Structures are given as C-alpha cells and as structure tokens.
A and B are shown apart, each in its own frame.
Chain A
Amino acid sequence: MSRHGLVVRVTHWINAIGALALIVSGVAILLAHPRLYWGETGAVGTPSLIDLPIPFVFGHSGWGRYLHFLSAWICVGAGLLYVPLQFSRHAMFRSYTGVQRLTYVLVVFVLGPIVLLSGLAFSPMLASAVPALVSLFGGQQSARTIHFFGAAAVVGFLIVHIVMVATAGFTDRMRSMIVGDHRSPAEDT
C-alpha cells in the first residue's frame, strides 16, 4: 500500500522547486528596493514602515521578476492538483497531531491565498480590473508589505516542515514522498 499516490508525489516536488524559485526570485526583487510602506504610495524620501537592514541595493531585478511569475504559475497549477488530493486523504491526515492539522489548513487556505492575492494587488493591470482587491489590503504599498510578511511566514512554515521531516525519520519520509511506499529501509531487507 503506497503512502503517497503518484500525482501527490510529482506535484509535491514540483511545488518544492517552485517554492524555492519563488523565494530566491522574491528576495532578488526585494533587494531592488528593501523598504516597506503602508498605504497607497511610497518612495525614498517618504516615511517608510520598515527599512530592511540590507546594506546594499541590487538593482537588476528583471530575471527575478520573470522567474517569480513563472514559478508562481507553476505553484498555482501544481497546488491545484496537490491540495485536493492530499487533503481528501483522511488516513494520512489522521497521523498528524491537532496542531499539525491546524497549521496545514491555515497555510493552505489562509496564508497561501493572502500571499497570492496581496501579490496580485500591486499589479497595475489587475488593480484596474479589480480595484476592490487593492482596497482589501489598504493600498498597493500595504499589499506589498503584507505580501512580504505573508511570504516570510510561508518560509517559516517550510523550515519547520523540513525540520519535522528530518526528526520524524528522514529516510523513511523521503522514501515515501519519492517512491511512494511506506516501509522503512530496515523492513525492506
């Protein structure tokens, strides 16, 4: 009996690569202007909410922007396959503690949509098509700030996720997410 189906395994690793690309490209974009504001507008010379303690500015974010949107599409596509399959499998979910279950639900159904929608809210084209999206976050610069903190929370979740996989038996967990079966290497021999 396989622990994870083929589609879940494939989309899990697509999402893993996509998330890594989103984080790297997101940092590259942020380095072009590491200041966060609240409200509709903000620029050097106006009060900022937070000046991130980065001693340099990395101006060229063209590749970062290209990679960010490409990997966002990949994560949304793979996520739409992964989430319904994984969350409909009660057997797997039952092995989690209450805190783990709550965390997964919050990340997928609250944090994920906040990060996605706040990112879309500072697109000038989408702001024109759906102005309510900008109002929801209290302005385009507020949306950018919320996008940053939301993404930071996702990074925090991913770190905890990797640490827990490592402590819960790294080889067995990796084996079940790569080849799919649930036996530990010790049982295998």
Chain B
Amino acid sequence: MKEITRRGLIGTGLTAAIGAAVGRSVFHIASQNGLIPPDHGGIFGAGETVTYAAQRVLAGDVSLAREFSRSDISTVIPVNGAPPETERYISLLDGHFRDWRLRVDGLVARPMSFSLADLKSYPAHTQITHQACEEGWSFIAEWTGVRLSHVLERVGIDPRARYVVFFSFDDFWESIDMADALHPQTFLAYAMNGPEMPLEHGAPLRLRVARQLGYKSVKYLGRMTVTDSLAGFGKGLGGINAEYGYSWWAGI
C-alpha cells in the first residue's frame, strides 16, 4: 500500500486543477469553433459531441451531397405527419398562400418578410438528392427553391451569428449551424418533383438540408431567426426533435 504524503496530495490536487482548467479551455475553444452541439449534456452528451466534432472536421463545410439524375427519382415518397391544422395555416392555404410570408429576424441588419413571389424571383436552385429518415427508409427527389445563403445575404447576417432557427406553422422548430446554413445545398424549397411543393411535403416552403437526416428539413416554414445562442429557445437543446430525445446533429 502506497503511503499518502503531503507532497503526493499537493501533486494530485495540482494535477486535477490543471486538468480541469485544460478541460474547460478545450471545451471553450471547441465551442467557439462550432464543435459542441447544444445537446452535449447528459449521459449521451460526450458521444454526441465526439460524433458532431468528428463529422464537422472530417467532412468540413464544403463536402457536397451526391446529386442524382432524373431517372433515379423515387416513385414512392412516404409522408410523415399531416399538414398543420391551425386556423392561420388553413386560411393561408385557402388563399393559395398569397398572404403567406417568411419572416426573417434576429441577428440580421435588415429584418424582412418574403412572399412566395419574392422567393421565386431570386436565382432558382434545383437538386436531385437523397433524403433518409432516422427510422431507416429513404427516397430520392428533385427539389427547387432558393439557397438559404441568398436569403441570408439579403437580410445581412451579423458576424456574431452562429445558428439559424426555423419555425413551422405547426409549432415544429429546428436549428442548424452556420456551416450548414451557408452550405450551397441548403435551401428553401418551394417545389418538389414538379412546379409546386405538394401540401403534405411542406407547402408552401420547406427547408432542405442535404447532408442531414430528414427531420432537420422543416416543413411549412413561417419564420426563421438568426442567433448566436440556442439557450433562449425551448429547453436550449436546439430543436423540438432534441426535446423528444433525438440528437440535434443528424449527420448520421
């Protein structure tokens, strides 16, 4: 049995203190570099943080999701959930979304509201990509819309901006980091496999995040806000899915 000495105790104490300080600094630096997800707490938090950081470092901000040809488009595209049943949404639907607006606010120079006609007047982006559900099923579809980066450019994002939070007409909400928000394949889609966005797939406008699972691609968009922290939204976990127990980062 080793003897406990004063020197040994001081040494152990110092090592622990230095270790804790180094740990805090590493966490702070990783957080500043967008490597810590909002759901980093709890028993699964460490694994989630390593997954998010590893995928961010490995894939970077620039990797592009594979794009397919028209012949690859799936004939069966399952639908998850029904359209919102709120009075506001139903009246917008009855008016063919003429009165619908996408409100953009938060850490932006010029908070703005966009009509569907406004969004359609901007350079259109079309992609045929794969979307998978976390349950395991998947499909390939063709989406058309406007790049999120284009809309963010119009409102002028603040240098402090770190996340964009999206709200739907059925109280669904999600967020993505700026790396995904500014990614060339992240866009606001107003059409799928044709000239319009089918009602059950998120009319009039849905988000598309090509490098994450389907539950990040919020349907029935009504508002988005730019922020430097997710702490003020719900339980601070970054989305309603994370509050239901599904990881905020859905890159795997």
Contact = CB atoms under 8 A, between A and B. Distances in A.
Interface of A: 29-30, 32-33, 35, 40-46, 59-63, 65-67, 69-71, 73-74, 120, 122-129, 131, 134, 140-141, 144
Contact of A128 (B65, B68, B250): B65
A50 B76 CA distance: 18
A44 B246 contact: no
A155 to B, nearest CB: 19
Given A62-B246, A65-B247, A131-B66, A43 B211 contact: no
A62 B247 CA distance: 7
- Complex A-B, nearest 3 residue pairs according to Cβ-Cβ distance, in ascending order: A70-B47, A125-B251, A62-B245
B48 A124 contact: no
B74 to A, nearest CB: 5
A14 to B, nearest CB: 14
B138 interface: yes
B76 A124 contact: no
- Among B72, B75, B138, B210: residue with most chain A CB under 10 A: B138
- Among B74, B137, B211, B251: residue with most chain A CB under 10 A: B137
Contacts of A35: 136-137
Nearest to A119: B252
B78 A125 contact: no
16 contacts: A35-B136, A40-B68, A41-B138, A43-B74, A66-B47, A66-B48, A69-B51, A69-B247, A70-B44, A70-B48, A73-B47, A124-B132, A127-B66, A128-B59, A128-B210, A131-B66
A45 B132 CA distance: 15
A40 B244 CA distance: 29
B136 A126 contact: no
B26 interface: no
A29 B74 CA distance: 24
Interface residues of B, number: 43
- Among B76, B140, B212: residue with most chain A CB under 10 A: B76
Interface in B63-94: 63-66, 68, 72, 74-78
Contacts of A125: 55, 59, 63, 211-212, 251-252
Contacts of B251: 123-126
- Among A29, A65, A140: residue with most chain B CB under 10 A: A65
A126 B135 contact: no
B139 A29 contact: no
B44 A66 contact: yes
B151 to A, nearest CB: 22
B160 to A, nearest CB: 25
Contacts of B75: 46
B252 A69 contact: yes
Contact of B138 (A32, A42, A67, A120): A42
A140 B138 CA distance: 9
A1 B201 CA distance: 67
Interface in B192-246: 210-213, 241, 244-246
A131 B129 CA distance: 13
Given A43-B139, A69-B48, A129-B58, 5 more contacts: A30-B136, A44-B137, A62-B245, A65-B246, A69-B47
A126 B252 contact: yes
B14 interface: no
A147 B59 CA distance: 22
B135 A124 contact: no
A136 to B, nearest CB: 13
B134 interface: yes
